[in-house]
Amino acid sequence: MFEALLRGGRDLLLDVAAALGAMHRWLLERGSGVLLSAGLSAHWIERCAECTDKAAEVRIAAALASMRHPDAGPLSRNLMAGDSQRSWTGRDLSERMANTLRRRVLSGRESDRSPLRSAVCASPDDVNRFLEGEVDDHLIEDLVFAFVLVKAPVLSWPECHTAPWPVYCLLKQMFLPGRIETPDGESVRIAPDLATPSLLFAGRVDEAAGLAARRLRIAGFQPINAAYAGGIDPRRLAASLLIPVSHTQFLLDSIVEKAEASAKA
């Protein structure tokens, strides 16, 4: 904080945010009873995202931290020791995210509103970087614990330019925050299947993809008949399904027959 005040600069501001997140994590995981109020400005996220070589980490963390739901609660409940919704446990970031995916889906299963909805969304480009291990997992985690203190952020990011992984596009249809429109014009929500993260952690990507393809066919879509398994870390793939993402039309168009694709972004 002293260096940031003395010299300024986006990189130092990012360091301050990460340090705040590390301190907040220490407090929450020890059940210290000390709770920091959600009063940080959204300008913190905007300024940190200007650090271009770490922008993907900032956007992913902001998307995760901004999830809210009447039943599943804010993400901060998943982070806090002693809370009935705590799920941020596991040996690494991928496992902690996959466990949180399961918990939020279970907690919000009786609601019409998705427990994965967020005021902020990462882009498919950011998710690609996460899937390919080109991000700093420790920084993402520190920033998640910092950004849950940001009050009501409403942010948008640049457009997507990179073709997403087809298997991710296929599986993500079961974990979208909104409804999609079928070729017949019907608005549907593809129900999440919690067998998916378990299959992925067991390395059974082809089975998880087959499950998602069947769900889409039942809903009236025609997924492209292709081999979806291989070339990707299945544990990171499971974790990526938690990340709220934009450009959902783009994702759907990537894995259904073009003449059949019709969805609401």
Mean of the pLDDT values across residues 195-224?
A: 92
Helix axes 10-29, 137-147, angle to 10 degrees: 70
pLDDT of 210 above 90: yes
Residue 12: its pLDDT value, please?
78
Q: Confidence class of residue 261 from pLDDT cuts 50, 70 and 90?
A: very low
In tens, the pLDDT along 12-55 reads 789 889 999 999 999 988 876 666 766 788 888 888 888 778 99
In tens, the pLDDT along 83-136 reads 999 999 999 999 999 999 999 999 988 888 889 999 899 999 999 999 999 999
**C-alpha–C-alpha distance, residues 193 and 19, integer Å:** 36
Mean of the pLDDT values across residues 62-72?
A: 93
Cβ neighbours of 155 (radius 10 Å): 16
Mean pLDDT of the chain: 86
Q: Identify which of 112, 108, 110 has the alpha carbon closest to the alpha carbon of residue 71.
A: 108
3-class SS of residue 103: helix
Residue 228: its pLDDT value, please?
81
**C-alpha–C-alpha distance, residues 86 and 205, integer Å:** 27
Q: Confidence class of residue 188 from pLDDT cuts 50, 70 and 90?
A: confident
Q: Confidence class of residue 168 from pLDDT cuts 50, 70 and 90?
A: very high
pLDDT of 265 above 80: no
Is residue 70 within 8 A of residue 111, CB to CB? The reply is yes
Residue 263: its pLDDT value, please?
42
**C-alpha–C-alpha distance, residues 84 and 10, integer Å:** 37
Mean of the pLDDT values across residues 187-212?
A: 92
Residues 6 or more apart from 110 whose CB is under 8 A from it?
A: 71
User: Who wins on pLDDT, 214 or 179?
Assistant: 214
